[in-house]
């Protein structure tokens, strides 16, 4: 079965970030033969003076494949209790995906978290609609991280929100590849222009600066810009990771 797992507000200014903590948890789950994880997505939430956050107010989400959702959930809870940073307000959300289920309300909650100041009560109300398959838990401090944890799951479900954690870096300085070659080499599923138009498989890409892939239409996606006779990956100049 497939799970979505999301963490928020697990760090402080001196600790590893939430994304790294989630990757570490996924590695631990795989080590214990409990689950196998994929890529982590970072979902940007509202920046507002009434919201406590460490640096950027973003939550981190990952998909897992498992045969034992209960064991994954209990292991994740214990891991977060043991490894969240002092002074943080961790929240954890784990959703067991069901074929044919409609998740519009979770996605709507995620969108609201990008534009509104929400409270824990809002998160628990939205989570209650999926009580049979969704676990939403607090693990210290105020527990306000449950808001971002639920929002991150909703935004990941949308299929078109968030950056993939980790940078894509050119293997050699200024290498030139076709779109098809780039996808095969760097694990990208599709390449699009800034306007969302798909790139032809033989289009030439000049890769010279680190970039980040994004989640678009449920696919790992590279966004490119036109420069003379080449397409170039949109440079990433944001936070580390």
Q: Name the β-bridge partners of 227.
A: 230
Question: pLDDT at residue 11 above 80?
Answer: no
Closest Cα partner for 211 from 223, 228, 198? 223
- Which has the higher per-residue pLDDT, 54 or 154? 154
DSSP of 197-227, one letter per residue? Answer: PBPPTT-EEEE-S-B--EEETTEEEEEEEEE
Domain boundaries, the chain: 2-163, 166-233
Inter-residue contact 147 to 123 (CB < 8 Å): yes
Enter the pTM of the model. 0.91
**Which architecture characterizes domain 2-163 according to CATH?**
2-Layer Sandwich (3.30)
Coil, helix or strand at residue 141:
coil
What is the Cα–Cα distance from 197 to 89, expressed in whole angstroms? 41
Inter-residue contact 113 to 126 (CB < 8 Å): no
Inter-residue contact 84 to 92 (CB < 8 Å): no
Region 58-72: mean pLDDT is 96
| Among the ranges given (54-63, 129-138, 153-162, 219-228), the one the predictor scored with the smallest mean pLDDT | 54-63
**pLDDT for residue 9:** 84
**pLDDT for residue 54:** 59
241: confidence class by pLDDT, cuts 50, 70, 90: very low
**pLDDT for residue 55:** 58
221: confidence class by pLDDT, cuts 50, 70, 90: very high
Region 34-46: mean pLDDT is 94
What is the Cα–Cα distance from 204 to 199, expressed in whole angstroms? 9
Question: pLDDT at residue 117 above 70?
Answer: yes
Coil, helix or strand at residue 36:
strand
**pLDDT for residue 13:** 63
Residues 31, 35, 41, 47: is their CA dihedral positive or negative?
Answer: negative
**pLDDT for residue 240:** 42
Tell me which residue has tokens 């449920």: 218
What is the Cα–Cα distance from 108 to 114, expressed in whole angstroms? 10
């Amino acid at each position: 079965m497939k799970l979505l797992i999301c963490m928020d507000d697990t760090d402080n200014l001196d600790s590893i970030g939430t994304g790294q903590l989630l990757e570490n948890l996924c590695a631990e789950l795989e080590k214990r033969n409990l689950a196998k994880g994929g890529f982590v997505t970072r979902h940007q939430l509202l920046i507002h003076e009434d919201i406590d956050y460490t640096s950027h107010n973003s939550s981190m989400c990952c998909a897992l494949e498992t045969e034992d959702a209960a064991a994954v959930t209990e292991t994740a809870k214990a891991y977060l209790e043991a490894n969240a940073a002092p002074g943080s307000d961790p929240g954890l959300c784990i959703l067991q995906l069901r074929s044919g289920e409609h998740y519009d309300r979770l996605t709507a909650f995620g969108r609201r978290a990008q534009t509104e100041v929400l409270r824990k009560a809002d998160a628990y109300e939205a989570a209650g609609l999926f009580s049979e398959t969704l676990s939403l838990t607090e693990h210290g401090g105020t527990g306000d991280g449950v808001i971002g944890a639920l929002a991150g799951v909703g935004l990941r479900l949308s299929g078109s929100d968030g950056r993939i954690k980790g940078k894509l870096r050119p293997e050699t300085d200024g290498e030139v590849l076709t779109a098809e070659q780039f996808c095969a080499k760097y694990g990208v599923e599709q390449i699009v222009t800034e306007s969302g138009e798909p790139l032809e498989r033989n289009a030439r890409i000049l890769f010279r600066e680190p970039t980040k892939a994004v989640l678009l239409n449920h696919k790992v996606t590279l966004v490119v810009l036109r420069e003379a006779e080449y397409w170039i990956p949109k440079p990433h100049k944001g936070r580390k990771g």
